[in-house]
Amino acid sequence: MKPQEIQHLYWRAGFGILPKPLHDLQKKSKKAVLNDLFFKSKNDSPLRIDTSEIDHLLTNKGKLSDDEKKKIQQYSRKKLIELNAAWIHRLGTTDAVLREKMTLFWANVFVCRDNNVAYMQRYNNTLRQHALGDFRAFVNAISKEAAMTKYLNTQQNKKQKPNENFARELMELFTLGEGHYTEQDIKESARAFTGYSHNLKGDFVLRRFQHDQGEKTFFGKTGNFNGEDIVDIILEQEQCARFISKKIYKYFVNDSIDENHVEAMTRVFYKDYNIANLMHFIFNSDWFYDAKHIGSKIKSPIEFMVGMNRLVPIQFSKPRQLLYIQKQLGQILLDPPNVAGWKGGRNWIDSNTIVLRLKLPSMLLNNAYISKAEVGEEDTMINVKKNVFKKGFGKRMDINCDWETFTKNFNSISINELQNYILAGAMNPDTKQYIEGLEKVSKKEYSIQLMSLPEYQMC
């Protein structure tokens, strides 16, 4: 494979690729490159933080007292920040990049949030476990997660008074898309999911006395359906495979849909609903590597931050600062804006976020200083400027930047080659003229200059 094709693959299937693994993969065929990518993501490794302080409360067989509920909420507020930071660290350091990228993708399909950290940790690991597996099992697992039964009120869904929230979103946002079902289908589906609940620990429980045992008619079929029957009938609709294929195409290929490619994906996915097979088909297709797709997508805030972290490992001493940056950029992991999730694409960028994105590399990596020294400017003047920025901005972010790792990874790369590894696509003529007019003081300074360009926002 060509270097640019491998880089494109790893920006879409992961968060970029460093020089050594890129050079190693160049020697391999496409088949071998893909086999390596999928093999490293074959097994899932659950993300764990310590929740022992409330675990004993969640195994309580009786009801929680008001004080115990308050303790769980207070503890979870702190621990959800820790889980957020742990997830971002995992994204930036894992070798199983495809599984983690898929976990990030599915988190914006099966959208959910909850104020109980134990439930959200379980939910996040369910996404990770099924990210490359069987879609049927995935949907069923999601429908039984404690965080989801709370978020979409399934635990309030009883035969005497069905709650339609989960049934509606299951079809509209999770599997079929708006307009591919009727209001009656929602009502009958809701009846099938009555009794879905969980215990304090978060394990799924079917409250049989709250489950509607009567016949339901759903998509023209009649029977004493339960939730899993509903999922089976939904997956019988080719529209389900098409709906998911379109979401995957927009996320991994291009925001502009090519209907022919989506239909090809649909045929592959509809055969067995195997997610890994679908992803392999995409990454093995020649059209995935078309020039029009390379550098065509705006990075999500998380992709932007994690990609930067893979170049220069960053450690925040205060996780709240990491959370604050996510908030300013418009994407906080574990805290989606609503059940529809983040819109993505051009919605990631507005007049405020683009300014922050362009400044963030220098803020995090260089005390807010970005070298704009013109060719020939003396080193003493550059150092004076850096000291001014350090005094003014250096204490705002309490972080540690591992430039030694950057230097080690890019030791064999000349300063003039850096842009080929840092940018996903080519510079436009104006940017190229601007960057060529700046002094390449060092690899460190030049890498920050490159990460501060509009082109770095793309992948």
Q: How far apart are CA 173 and CA 102, in angstroms?
A: 17
Q: Which of 224, 231, 40 is nearest to 137 (CA)?
A: 231
| Integer Cα distance of 452 and 362 in angstroms | 7
Q: Are 280 and 432 in contact (CB under 8 A)?
A: no
E strand map for 255-396: 314-316
Q: What is the pTM of this model?
A: 0.94
User: Could you tell me if 282 and 253 are in contact, meaning their C-beta atoms sit under 8 angstroms apart?
Assistant: yes
Q: Among 170, 169, 153, which residue's Cα sits nearest to residue 161?
A: 153
pLDDT in tens, the chain (459 residues): 999 999 999 999 999 999 999 999 999 999 999 999 999 999 999 999 999 999 989 987 778 999 999 999 999 999 999 999 999 999 999 999 999 999 999 999 999 999 999 999 999 999 999 999 999 999 999 999 999 999 999 999 999 999 999 999 999 999 999 999 999 999 999 999 999 999 999 999 999 999 999 999 999 999 999 999 999 999 999 999 999 999 999 999 999 999 999 999 999 999 999 999 999 999 999 999 999 999 999 999 999 999 999 999 999 999 999 999 999 999 999 999 999 999 999 999 999 999 999 999 999 998 766 656 554 544 554 454 445 444 444 456 789 999 999 999 999 999 999 999 999 998 999 999 998 888 888 999 999 999 999 999 999
